[in-house]
Amino acid sequence: MFHRKFRQLAVFLGSATILALAATQVSAHTQLVSAEPVADTTVAAPEKITLHFNDTLETRVSSISLADAEGDSISITPATAPDEKSMAATPEAPLAPGVYTVSWTAVGSDAHAMMGTLSFTVE
* Domain co-membership, 61 together with 94: yes
pLDDT tens column, 68-79 = 999 999 999 999
pLDDT band with cut points at 50, 70 and 90 for residue 120: very high
Looking up residue 71, the CATH number of its domain turns out to be 2.60.40.1220
What is the structure's pLDDT at 79?
Answer: 97
Check: pTM over 0.85? Answer yes or no: no
pLDDT at 92 over 80: yes
CA nearest neighbour of 36 among 81, 75, 69 = 81
- For residue 119, the surrounding DSSP H or E stretch is strand 113-122
Q: Which domain holds residue 16?
A: 1-29
* Domain co-membership, 21 together with 38: no
What is the structure's pLDDT at 16?
Answer: 43
pLDDT tens column, 4-51 = 554 554 444 444 444 444 444 445 689 999 999 999 999 999 999 999
Higher pLDDT, 26 or 119: 119
| The pairing of beta strand 63-68 with beta strand 49-53 | unpaired
